[in-house]
Amino acid sequence: MHIEKPIIIIGTGRSGSTIFHTVFTKHPEVAWLAGKIGNKYPNKPQRNRLFLQLIDYPIIGSLLESKVRSGENYPFWEYYCKGFSQPYRNLLPDDVTFKNKKKLQWAMSQILTQKRNRLLLKITGWPRIGFLKEVFEDACFIHVLRDGRAVANSIINVGFWRGWQGPSNWRWGNLTQLHAEEWAKYDHSFVVLAAIQWKILMDAVEETKQHIDPENFLDVKYEDLCTDPIAIFKNAFQFCELPFPADFEKVIKKQSWKNANYKWEQDLTGKQQKMLNETLQEYLLRYNYI
């Protein structure tokens, strides 16, 4: 099937994109990568399509869907495009080869069904907007963002963060002179380094979204999602030109939408909070967080 207007959710990581994407997959018209299936059989995307067909059957569908999680499916991406999952810099249009484009378009088209004919993808970390726009020319992007202080606090509490080894060993490239000086100013604080990571990724979003039509880009704040998820999803579906199903409010209400931003103030010392506020002040003002 032909891929038309794929929907791509992006975020810095630890921003709320997972719960947003998880609920979005419940829309009856979207096709998505099933973790266990896509990652185990990347060369057989038709199995993903079969799974999506089966979950639309009564009773058995709910049982099957409960056993398979949606996600970013980087092993699937890596099979078709080496280096996609952990590049040291943002991926740009010129990083797309003819081979990449052809293989990705084919693979993603194979998961679509007659009913689920809108492709839904989720990517975190580098936004890769330019790369993805080169592959899917009419893609629309939904950017899930969150208060950088909450993101930084969350980042230092996950086991996969490589910032503890310093920026020469993490995934976000060498620090600019400005960022290096900023980090040194705070005695190479890891809390500050996590905040700098958030700024690097937010800058990458801002830079690359300038090259796409504003009508194809939507910001969704995690905080607004927690406050009024129904309104956020109605707006997101309208942006994507999808109907809001009659029973979708029930789907939304099944989820817990607790805003966990308060944790950064509970977890961090007064000094660490002060460093975060100083490091992120310009960005917090830009995104109306202070």
In a domain, residue 1? The reply is no
In a domain, residue 30? The reply is yes
Number of domains in the chain: 1
CATH number at residue 210: 3.40.50.300
Q: What pLDDT was estimated at residue 249?
A: 98
In a domain, residue 95? The reply is yes
Q: How far is CA 251 from each of CA 31, 65, 258, 284, rounded to the nearest angstrom?
A: 17, 14, 16, 32
Q: How far is CA 29 from each of CA 8, 120, 138, 168, 242, rounded to the nearest angstrom?
A: 15, 10, 18, 43, 8
* Residue pLDDT, tens place only, 103-126: 999 999 999 999 999 999 999 999
The mean pLDDT value of the chain amounts to 97
In a domain, residue 175? The reply is yes
In a domain, residue 252? The reply is yes
Q: What is the domain extent for residue 130?
A: 7-286
Using 50, 70 and 90 to split pLDDT, how confident is the model at 7? very high
Q: What pLDDT was estimated at residue 171?
A: 94
Q: What pLDDT was estimated at residue 192?
A: 98
Q: What pLDDT was estimated at residue 240?
A: 98
* Residue pLDDT, tens place only, 116-152: 999 999 999 999 999 999 999 999 999 999 999 999 9
Rounded Cα gap, residues 31 and 115, in angstroms: 9
* Residue pLDDT, tens place only, 224-261: 999 999 999 999 999 999 999 999 999 999 999 999 99
Q: What is the mean pLDDT of residues 174-186?
A: 98
In a domain, residue 2? The reply is no
Q: What pLDDT was estimated at residue 85?
A: 97
Rounded to two decimals, the pTM is 0.97
Q: What is the mean pLDDT of residues 188-206?
A: 98
In a domain, residue 186? The reply is yes
In a domain, residue 119? The reply is yes
Using 50, 70 and 90 to split pLDDT, how confident is the model at 74? very high
Q: Which residues are CB-contacts of 94 (< 8 A; sequence separation ≥ 6)?
A: none
